[in-house]
Amino acid sequence: MGYELHISRAAEYYDSDRHPIALDEWLAYAESRPTLNVGGWLGWDEDRQPIYEQTCTDGSVVSLTWFEGAIEIKGHFDGDAYHEFGSIAEDLQANLQGDHGERYTASGVLPPTR
């Protein structure tokens, strides 16, 4: 399904600027992962940053970009989000959260907190 996910250190992804993943930390991490490849660029000249792509286990390709302290994951995939991206969140000591507030770990979906 097409859906947006967020990797953030904040309790709610929309507060990522308060508990950010630093851009240089994200770039170093992304460059170290063989599953992430640069698929394009955002911005111009010295302000540009890479858009990383990952091919999911179902064959779909999603993009991962840094934005205001969080990693935004966009694309269409049919697999389980936690299988694909839970380990990235854990590696960054962050949370994996969907647009509707659902939370994931590398092991599965967490129960709602509200």
Which position has the higher pLDDT, 82 or 32?
A: 32
Q: Which residue has the higher pLDDT, 63 or 108?
A: 63
Cα distance between residue 22 and residue 112, in whole Å? 28
Quote the pLDDT of residue 58: 84
Q: Is residue 108 pLDDT above 90, yes or no? A: no
Whether 82 has a pLDDT exceeding 80, the answer reads no
Nearest to 17 by CA among 27, 28, 6: 6
Comparing C-alpha atoms, which of 24, 25, 1 is closest to residue 94?
A: 25
**pLDDT, the chain, mean:** 87
pTM, rounded to two decimals: 0.87
